[in-house]
Amino acid sequence: MNRSDFIYMLLTSAAGWGTGIGRWRINSFNQPSINGKRVNRHLKELSEFGKNPEGGVTRSAYSEADIKARTYVRSLMEKAGLEVSTDAAGNIIGRRAGGKTNVPVLMTGSHIDSVPEGGNYDGPVGVMGAIEAAQTLKENGRILRHPLEVIVFANEEGGKTGSRALFDDLTEKDLDLKTHIGITNHEGIKRIGGAPENLDQAVRKKGDIAAFVELHVEQGGVLESEGKTIGVVEGIVGIKRWIVTIEGFANHAGTTPMDDRRDALLGGARFVELVNKVITGEPGRQVGTVGQIDAAPGAPNVIPGEVTLSLEIRDLSMNKIDRLFDEIRSKAKETIGREKELDFSFNHIYTTQSALTDNRIKEFVATSAEELNLSQMSMPSGAGHDAQSIAHIAPIGMIFIPSVGGISHSPKEYSRPEDITAGANVLLHTLLKMDQI
């Protein structure tokens, strides 16, 4: 045993670490606690960067507001005793050395960029909670077994650019994509101190990260409606999208009898109803959405001859998504198509694989909430997150706190200070338990 390992053993023994069957626990007399006033103050200060008159923020990735916010966040990391750097993808990384040698890092964090006219909590709660956890560890003199990395992912809202770079998922096409502020990802990454020509340097291999956990606002209304403070996330849903084309026959609206029409838009209306019926026809948390529709030729006196619609299905199970789609497709062709003499075609355009959270980390989150006397429930994430990228290379976990009214991506987005404090405390104690992985 080397000197650093011996010191670590003494420190953790003094701290009272112990393991029960299936659960890791910290002796109650030695549980650290985050500073709730401080983490909420930091969130308020961050909200000044890109602040808009509606009360939210427009802090698009790579914008001046984003750059200034990143400078502010770096200063908080440094005060928390972290060694701060920017990787080739533009991710900000604050590192704290561990007490044991040759072990992979524990990672936590989220993002600070926003959608246009967005809110102050989606992403920043996870970043500020992670920094606060590091600050608390420093103030309590707690040395983890693993190195700790607090990460601020670049351009989450524009396609999870920073987190995807960690598992080598960015292509030249991704780098050439234009962002909300009119520059490419390639230009944006350089603007925030990254090196897009050296993205291989940002890549992490399996085994480099012991585990990753992300604190986040729910972005929905389930926790609030159920009266729970903590969501133990079961996984992040997969997504599949299709473009659906319905071919009918365009004809004069005044001279074509109602019973002699091949109205593609009528078929589209019935298709929307069919999607809702299939998706709600069995138990589960699956969702299906038709969010776009276009009718051609688009004149008020012409029966639509062609309609294109979007179809999106989300669920934790990719097999379930495929099964629901197969049912929708067959019923559309066999019922609507046959009855109205319409031709349906389906073009698959997008897939994001689901990402299940690690069973041990779920247990750590649940146990931490229990020890802190916080109500909790298990639930899926219906939105995508940076954790979904990290799942390709490491075990992941997520902690949700309530979003008031289920509102997100809006200036009206709000999470209560007491819930933010609770979530940050659960994050801290989850990290302490993860340190035993």
Interstrand relation of 355-356 and 251-252 (parallel, antiparallel or unpaired): unpaired
Instruction: Please check whether residue 134 is in contact with residue 80, taking contact to mean a CB–CB distance below 8 angstroms.
Output: yes
Q: Which CATH architecture has domain 238-352?
A: 2-Layer Sandwich (3.30)
Query: pLDDT for 344-374, tens place per residue?
Result: 999 999 998 999 999 999 999 999 999 999 9
pLDDT digits (tens, 9 = 90+) for 33-89: 999 999 999 999 999 999 999 999 999 999 999 999 999 999 999 999 999 999 999
The confidence band for 19, taking pLDDT boundaries of 50, 70 and 90, is very low
* pLDDT on residue 436: 86
pLDDT at residue number 149: 98
List b or e across 337-351, with b for residues whose CB sees 16 or more CB atoms inside 10 angstroms. Answer: beebebebeeeeeee
CATH 3.40.630.10 fits 3-236+354-434, yes or no: yes
Amino acid at 280: T
Angle separating helix axes 318-331 and 264-279, nearest 10 degrees: 140
Q: What is the mean pLDDT of residues 102-124?
A: 96
Can you list the positions of beta strands (E) in 267-409? 287-289, 293-296, 302-303, 306-315, 343-352, 355-356, 376-381, 396-401
pLDDT the model gives residue 31: 78
Considering only CA atoms, give the Rg of the chain: 25
| Domain assignments of the chain as residue spans, ordered by start | 3-236+354-434, 238-352
Comparing CA positions, the residue from 25, 14, 9 lying closest to residue 99 is 9
Tokens of 410: 């809006």
Residues whose CB falls within 8 Å of the CB of residue 57, separated by 6 or more in sequence, listed in order = 47, 49, 50, 51, 65, 114, 118, 119, 120, 411
Residues 6+ apart with CB under 8 A from 380: 233, 234, 235, 236, 237, 285, 316
Calpha distance 165→144 (Å, rounded): 27
What is the per-residue pLDDT for 154?
A: 98
**ω into residue 297 within 30 of 0, thus cis?**
yes
Can you count the helices (H) and strands (E) in the chain? 14, 18
pLDDT in tens, 400-421: 999 999 999 999 999 999 999 9
d(Cα 414, Cα 416) in Å, to the nearest integer?
A: 7
Instruction: Provide the pairing of β-strand 105-111 with 287-289.
Output: unpaired
Q: What is the pLDDT of residue 30?
A: 67
**What's residue 148's pLDDT?**
98
What span, in angstroms and rounded, lies between the C-alpha atoms of 221 and 113?
Answer: 22
What single string gives the DSSP state of each residue in 83-115?
Answer: EEEE-TTS-EEEEE--SSSS-PEEEEEEE----
Percent of the chain with pLDDT over 90: 90
Is residue 214 within a helix (H) or strand (E), and if so which, with residue range? Answer: strand 209-217
Can you tell me whether residue 230 is helix, strand or coil? Answer: strand
Round the average pLDDT of the chain to a whole number and report it. 93
Distances (CA, A) of 425 to 223, 256, 346, 401, 432: 18, 67, 47, 11, 11
For the segment 88-93, the average pLDDT, to the nearest whole number, is 98
Torsion of CA 356, 361, 363, 367, to 10 degrees: -140
**7 pLDDT exceeds 70?**
no
Rounded-to-integer distance, Cα 269 and Cα 346, Å:
16
Q: Is the pLDDT of residue 1 over 70?
A: no
Q: What gap in Å lies between CA 134 and CA 396, rounded to an integer?
A: 19
Task: Please state, in angstroms and as integers, the Cα–Cα distance from residue 397 to each residue in 18, 215, 232, 331, 359, following that order.
Answer: 22, 9, 8, 38, 9
Q: Is the pLDDT of residue 20 over 70?
A: no
Q: What are phi and psi for residue 298, nearest 5 degrees?
A: 85, 30
Furthest C-alpha separation in the chain: 92
Residue 23 has pLDDT above 80, yes or no: no
With 90 as the cut, is the pLDDT of residue 12 above it?
Answer: no
Find the mean pLDDT for residues 307-320: 97
Which two structure tokens, joined as six digits, stand for 197? Answer: 């020509």
pLDDT at residue 226 in the model: 97
Residue 333, pLDDT score? 97
Round to whole Å and give the CA distance between 159 and 154.
Answer: 10
How far does CA 214 lie from the centroid of its chain?
8
**pTM, rounded to two decimals:** 0.86
**Rounded Cα–Cα distance for residues 205 and 420 (Å):** 32
Q: Which residues contact 21 (CB under 8 A, 6 or more apart)?
A: none
